[in-house]
Amino acid sequence: MTTEFINELTRIVGDDAIRMDEPMKMHTTFRIGGPADIFVTPPDAKRLKEAVECCKAFNIPWMIIGNGSNLLVSDKGIRGVVFQIFGTMDKLRMEEEQDGTVIVHAGAGILLSRLARAVAAEGLEGFEFASGIPGTFGGAVTMNAGAYGGEMKMCVGQATVLTGDGQVLTLKGPELEFGYRTSIIQRQSMIVLEAALTLKRGDKEKILACMDELAARRREKQPLEFPSAGSTFKRPEGYFAGKLIQDCGLKGFSVGGAQISPKHSGFVINTGDATARDVLELIRHVQTTVYDRFGVSMEPEVRIIGEF
């Protein structure tokens, strides 16, 4: 990358927002990943847009991450620029409508856990399911994240996105084209800048009790004590990913430092020294074994980034 590019990027986002050769294991919940050539934390959506345009002008590859909760990054790292919006693009505001509903506008970089606590504190119901999902709001909207019977499509009314050709658009309702772990945002490689929840007031004590119950269920059933990327595989239609894996006798199976969690077969965990190669080999072993046994294709839910 040229000095001219670095200087222009620095002018846009500021010197404090740029790090060189940044280890991605510091920015993924797997605690795995080699260095990104350039790691940038843009202060706001305006400067993110300008920085992306700068990358395009200089023909530099780029990608955007939240808090890295759904990523497996190669041991060789990521070439080009990684923009992290977690921790910066996280503003929150609420507007009450005449019909009593409340519109909650939130930046793409806000953690779902923080957003869920904020709406619960206002006595707003319908977002309890998201309180324990790791990741940022923007990433959750992009993939229509869900848990315990809830999905983003049930409460997200609109999203402001940056398109591939640099336009800022607001997509509403059916325009978001939510599906199982997908949306038009994901399919067309758009970037969420901000999104809005449409919620109603409820019983604050019941809302908080529900969140506490879901948190307890997670602690009991999921391997939260180990680094992971959450559920490793999407749910195959008509099946449960964890049960298929368990029925193949793979619970506890390891490749290097990567292991199918003995606590929940739907999770691949890093037992302490796993490489990205270990995790990918384990994922492929699961895919082959489950297909050979049941004829079911297992599609990873985790995004696999970089050169392997």
Residue 131 is a catalytic residue: no
State the catalytic residue, choosing from 69, 131, 183, 231: 231
Catalytic residue at 151?
no
- Interior/surface letters 71-88, b for 16+ CB within 10 angstroms, e for the rest: bbbbbebbbebbbbbbeb
Set 22, 151, 194, 301: catalytic member: 301
183 is catalytic: no
Terminal CA-to-CA distance of the chain, rounded, Å? 22
Burial environment of residue 286 by CB neighbours within 10 A (0 to 12, 13 to 18, 19 or more): buried
Catalytic residue among 19, 181, 235, 277: 181
Residue by residue, what is the 3-state secondary structure of the chain? CCHHHHHHHHHHHCHHHEEEEEEHHHCCCCCCCCEEEEEECCCCHHHHHHHHHHHHHCCCCEEEECCCCCEEECCCCEEEEEEECCCCCCCEEEEECCCCCEEEEEECCCEHHHHHHHHHHCCEECCHHHCCCCCEHHHHHHHCCEECCEEHHHCEEEEEEECCCCCEEEEEHHHHCCECCECHHHHCCCEEEEEEEEEEECCHHHHHHHHHHHHHHHHHHCCCCCCEEEECECCCCCCCHHHHHHHCCCCCCEECCEEECCCCCCEEEECCCCCHHHHHHHHHHHHHHHHHHHCCCCCECCEEECCC
Residues tagged active-site: 181, 231, 301
